[in-house]
Amino acid sequence: MTEARSSRRQRNAPTINDVAQYAGVSPMTVSRVINGEQIVRPATKEKVEQAIAALNYSPSAAARSLAGGEEIRIGLLYSNPSANYLSEFLVGSLDQASRSGVDLVVEKWDEETAVDTVVDHLLRGRINGVILPPPLCDHQGVKDALAAAGITAVAVATGEAPDDMSAVRIDDHAAALAMTRHLIALGHRRIGFIKGHPNLSASERRLEGYRDALAEAGIAADDAWVAQGYFTYRSGLEAAEKILALPQPPTAIFASNDDMAAATVAIAHRGGLDVPRDLTVCGFDDTSLATTIWPELTTIRQPISAMSRAAVELLVRQIKTRKGKAAEKPAHLLLDYELIHRQSDAAPQ
């Protein structure tokens, strides 16, 4: 009976989303208050603290989840140029960490910092495992260093499932194929494409999906329709300018993420083009940016929060298994994507 009551209490424990809803703020703001960041306004900080007290929320009260009371600490190591993507990823990670009763430590890494330095910092912080969102999910140096240090890791949103590491991803090739087929079905034959960062395997899979859809429709691909992007808004501006400056520009542009798609909409408007009457623009990810610009973006919904939740859950299970001295093969989870139709696409005029 005691165990049942304890289990019910754990399932019904308030989460970071509950605190955010109670205070009328975003989960990101709650996270900032919990971590003592100074950028939160005093009035907002007070509301969050009142919500925490009212709900009796403790982000680490249940952290001693292993038998014997040993604490599990997991890290989220990020280096992502898209704040919209990272925000959704962090919300999912924080929520699942709370539900799993583990501590989540968020660490930023950039190319100027030696990989060994980052790994040593994680070890000194008693980190048991690490979540690797893009682009670090494909950074072989980081993955090798973590493995050498004996730190369990889960890669998220990689284009290919690694043989030696667990991963959570979608089928990027199939998703890009579906979006390009959608544009072809609308009647477009000149379809531009903005590639993602070349250091990500998902970027190549999306490009392959785009090209395969053109090929199956009998449309000759033109290399001039494809421009390099880096998943940043600014790179999207430059890529869109290049594509739309062609003597006969595409009637539709499919960008590899929403940031670059939003930049394409901006360039179209700057050039006097109406979206979608004169130019169809589609994105990828379905971050909050997709619905905060006009027209709202037709895009591929990558379940970012769900992927980060699944990664935390998978990582915690593997850490517990490893501490129990049992071996577990890498697990590869493939989540569903969805094509979301909004206002940025139409048949060519």
Q: Is there a domain that residue 221 lies in?
A: yes
Q: Is there a domain that residue 101 lies in?
A: no
Domain housing 48: 1-59
> 25-39, 79-93, 273-287 — which is least confidently predicted?
25-39
pLDDT score recorded for residue 59: 58
Q: Is there a domain that residue 24 lies in?
A: yes
pLDDT score recorded for residue 181: 98
pLDDT score recorded for residue 324: 60
The residue ranking higher by pLDDT, 343 or 324, is: 343
The DSSP bridge partners found for residue 285 are 301
pLDDT score recorded for residue 61: 43
* Domain boundary pick from 27, 42, 59: 59
% of the chain residues with pLDDT over 90: 62
pLDDT score recorded for residue 285: 97
Q: Is there a domain that residue 44 lies in?
A: yes
Per the prediction, the chain carries an average pLDDT of: 88
> The domain spanning residue 239 has which CATH number?
3.40.50.2300
- 5-27: average pLDDT: 67
Per-residue pLDDT tens for 246-264? Answer: 999 999 999 999 999 999 9
- 220-240: average pLDDT: 97
Distances (CA, A) of 194 to 50, 157, 188, 199, 238: 46, 18, 16, 15, 10
Angle, CA of 101, 17 and 258, to the nearest 5°: 110
pLDDT score recorded for residue 62: 40
The residue ranking higher by pLDDT, 63 or 171, is: 171
The 3-state secondary structure of 268-286 reads HHHCCCCCCCCCEEEEEEC
**At residue 41, does pLDDT exceed 90?**
no
Tokens of 71: 């604490």
Q: Is there a domain that residue 14 lies in?
A: yes
Contact 34, 64 (CB under 8 A): no
**At residue 33, does pLDDT exceed 90?**
no
**At residue 335, does pLDDT exceed 50?**
yes
- 68-90: average pLDDT: 83
**At residue 32, does pLDDT exceed 80?**
no
> The domain spanning residue 14 has which CATH number?
1.10.260.40
> 65-69, 178-182, 225-229, 286-290 — which is least confidently predicted?
65-69
Res. 333 pLDDT band, cuts 50 70 90: very high
pLDDT score recorded for residue 327: 60
% of the chain residues with pLDDT over 70: 88
Per-residue pLDDT tens for 103-150? Answer: 999 988 887 778 878 888 888 888 899 999 999 999 999 999 898 888
The residue ranking higher by pLDDT, 53 or 336, is: 336
**At residue 3, does pLDDT exceed 60?**
no
- Structural domain count, the chain: 2
- 223-227: average pLDDT: 97
Q: Is there a domain that residue 3 lies in?
A: yes
- Sign of the four-CA dihedral 137, 142, 145, 149: negative
pLDDT score recorded for residue 38: 63
pTM: 0.80
Q: Is there a domain that residue 39 lies in?
A: yes
Q: Is there a domain that residue 205 lies in?
A: yes
**Is cis: bond before 250, omega within 30 of 0?**
no
